[in-house]
Amino acid sequence: MINVTLKDGSVIQVEKGSTLLDVAEKISEGFARKVLSATVDGEVHGLPLPLKHDCAVNFHTFEDEGGRLAFRHTCSHVLAQAVKRLYPEVKLAIGPAIDDGFYYDVDSDFPFTPDILAKLEVEMRKIIKENIPLVRYEMPRAQAIQYMESLKEPYKVELIQDLPEDVAISFYSQGDFTDLCAGPHLVSTGKLKGNAIKLTSCTGAYWRGDSKRKMLQRIYGTCFPKKEELDAYLQRIEEAKKRDHRKLGKELGLFTLMDEGPGFPFFLPKGMVLRNTLIDYWREVHKKYGYVEISTPMILNRQLWERSGHWYHYKENMYTTQIDEEDFAIKPMNCPGGMLVYKLEPHSYRDLPLRCGELGLVHRHELSGTLHGLFRVRCFTQDDAHIFMTREQMKDEIQNVVKLFDEVYSVFGLKYEIELSTMPEDHIGTVEEWEVNQNILKDAITAMGKTFVINEGDGAFYGPKLDFHIEDCLGRTWQCGTIQLDSQLPERFELEYTGTDGEKHRPVMIHRVVFGSIERFIGVITEHFAGAFPLWLSPVQVKVMPITDRSGERCKELVKLLDEAGFRAEADLRNEKIGYKIREAQMQKIPYMLVIGDKEVEDGSVAVRTRTGEQMNMSYADFLKKITEERDTKAL
């Protein structure tokens, strides 16, 4: 007998060789029907795994990441099997599970049109109905290569050749189909639900993400345990399409992207109003939290970037040039310039913490295939700040930044989750320094009553970081804020301050952003609000429109009064029907419309319409009071 320790600490005894499924059934048959995979001593496995010794087991349902992974990974194999059944000549590449579903990359001489995707869905349902067991087995590397060559699958052969020679290669078979795969998978295709799968799109994708390699077709899909969950997901996708910031940016006249500058956004007049309003708020809140603002050059020489480490660790993402036969780089980050500012004058412990904010335009070379509206661009304004402090101040300063984040995100109605990213393989500094700084980050946010998850190995090359993933109204998450703790760059730049003992000491620094980038944050809140920004952010806050030409002059007076009160107002004096003007203003997501007729001119009132269709009549003074309070409180 062997002992199986469950997540809650209870222990179940089973015969040696019993499978994970046997253990789940011993807990209860109902539980076993819901279980999809399990973690055994830290590794995720499928349920057919036989247990050979005492172990700790954590079972996964679809509610857990491990369960969703097995569920959707199995669905990707069902897609691949359907492709090979209907189109045997197509070559298979890779097919992983992803956050909202799965994809499979294929090499085909013909495009996978919507009609073909529909045929594949029908075949997938047949495979699911057949309830085919998924069976894992291994082969020696040489035999595995020979086997994939016999199946004429060159991409699989390449993947195997890149694996170590002493590793056994694992495969999963399901009936007449076999795929190279590490797993885990469900016990059979029948554990999927045929009415809860959907192939959503097909796009291009370079083999292994290399633009020098062949362009393949990537078939995306999703799947859920219940049709109701699939329907809800597809409804969210449709809502997300309506909220697409690229579509709204064009319709609302905020920004545009042009072929003449791929990845370099153009901001239009209304977009600049929105952008500058955000920046004004950024300056307001940073002044409140004790920051000073600086600006550093966009181009700096190679020696600086070598000293910071970016030339060796980040050069492939940097734009470089030569000036007077010397190498220069356009800055991808603001921090090295901030170091030079700190070094301009001597500092005492009395000067610290020194909080320097910078709205710095940075440039990063991103692959053309990764560019996406304002979410992934090649130039953007980082709302950066660098905080120089003593070691004793680290915890307080981290918490001070988190408080600032809390204030800013609450203004937009955004919740967040925190992720702690730890030391990557490509890092500078000792393991001991990294562990100390990681623990400081943990202690600081834990003391605030906040929770976090670990993202192993994804820290910046110079230090661990806390990433703040904000959640929008559709439940999607976006990584915006970050707090990076850095002991390395102050060392490289030989930064100093005079301590209470009169001796020279090395400060520690925090790199942090709250919006992440102005451009990306505009994209996020455009989708979050579906373009219907709160009053304080709206590029046009009030549209004033006459019912007849007789009330045109009163409309002009109201626009002037609103302008003097600090509001962004426009008059629509075109010779169009009032209903057309109202509908157009609503389409432009303008918060308030004032409709002025003879009655309003006579008694000094305003007929107010909101973009949601609400109507009310009131005096101009009452209207001004209402919108002033709404603006000044930044009401949602």
pLDDT at 368 (0 to 100): 81
pLDDT at 553 (0 to 100): 95
Confidence of residue 304 (pLDDT cuts 50, 70, 90): very high
Distances (CA, A) of 512 to 38, 297, 331, 385, 461: 37, 19, 17, 5, 15
Q: Is 443 a catalytic residue?
A: no
Confidence of residue 353 (pLDDT cuts 50, 70, 90): very high
Q: Which CATH number fits domain 542-632: 3.50.50.60, 3.20.20.70, 3.40.50.800, 3.40.718.10?
A: 3.40.50.800
Q: Is 465 a catalytic residue?
A: yes
Cα–Cα distance for residue pair 122/458, rounded to 1 Å: 40
pLDDT at 555 (0 to 100): 97
Confidence of residue 559 (pLDDT cuts 50, 70, 90): very high
Q: What is the pLDDT of residues 476-528, one digit of tens each?
A: 889 899 999 998 889 989 999 999 999 999 999 999 999 999 999 999 999 99
Distances (CA, A) of 472 to 143, 412, 454: 49, 9, 22
Query: What is the DSSP secondary-structure string of 36-67?
Result: -EEEETTEEE-TTPBP-S-EEEEEE-TTSHHH
The answer on pLDDT for 292 being more than 80 is: yes
Distances (CA, A) of 286 to 111, 400, 516: 52, 11, 15
Q: Is 469 a catalytic residue?
A: no
pLDDT at 428 (0 to 100): 84
- Selecting among 81, 174, 217, 382, the annotated active-site residue is 382
Are residues 140 and 165 in contact, defined by beta-carbon separation less than 8 angstroms? no
> Helices 114-129 and 65-86, interaxial angle, to 10°?
110
> Helices 269-288 and 394-411, interaxial angle, to 10°?
140
Q: What is the pLDDT of residues 47-75, one digit of tens each?
A: 999 999 999 999 999 999 999 999 999 99
The answer on pLDDT for 110 being more than 90 is: yes
pLDDT higher at 210 or 399 = 399
- 66-241 adopts what CATH topology? Threonyl-tRNA Synthetase; Chain A, domain 2 (3.30.980)
pLDDT at 414 (0 to 100): 95
Task: Return the percent helix, strand and coil in the chain, to nearest 5.
Answer: 40, 30, 35
pLDDT at 280 (0 to 100): 97
CATH class of the region 260-294+332-528: alpha beta
Domain boundaries, the chain: 2-61, 66-241, 260-294+332-528, 542-632
Cα–Cα distance for residue pair 277/272, rounded to 1 Å: 8
Cα–Cα distance for residue pair 550/307, rounded to 1 Å: 70
Distances (CA, A) of 482 to 26, 157, 418, 551: 45, 40, 9, 52
- 2-61 adopts what CATH topology? Ubiquitin-like (UB roll) (3.10.20)
Q: Is 335 a catalytic residue?
A: yes
Q: Is 245 a catalytic residue?
A: no
Q: Is 202 a catalytic residue?
A: no
> Is the bond into 353 cis (omega within 30 degrees of 0)?
yes
- Selecting among 364, 512, 528, 554, the annotated active-site residue is 364
Q: Is 310 a catalytic residue?
A: no
- Tell me the average pLDDT across 461-487: 91
Residue 564, class by beta-carbon neighbours within 10 Å (0-12 exposed, 13-18 middle, 19+ buried)? exposed
- Selecting among 193, 465, 528, 581, the annotated active-site residue is 465
Are residues 437 and 463 in contact, defined by beta-carbon separation less than 8 angstroms? yes
The answer on pLDDT for 581 being more than 90 is: yes
Confidence of residue 475 (pLDDT cuts 50, 70, 90): confident
pLDDT at 138 (0 to 100): 92
pLDDT at 314 (0 to 100): 86
Q: Which percentage of the chain shows pLDDT scores above 90?
A: 87
Are residues 572 and 585 in contact, defined by beta-carbon separation less than 8 angstroms? yes
- Selecting among 22, 179, 384, 486, the annotated active-site residue is 384
- Selecting among 75, 202, 335, 480, the annotated active-site residue is 335
Confidence of residue 166 (pLDDT cuts 50, 70, 90): confident
- Selecting among 198, 511, 611, 631, the annotated active-site residue is 511
Q: What is the pLDDT of residues 227-274, one digit of tens each?
A: 999 999 999 989 988 999 999 999 999 999 999 999 999 999 999 999
- Selecting among 386, 427, 512, 589, the annotated active-site residue is 386
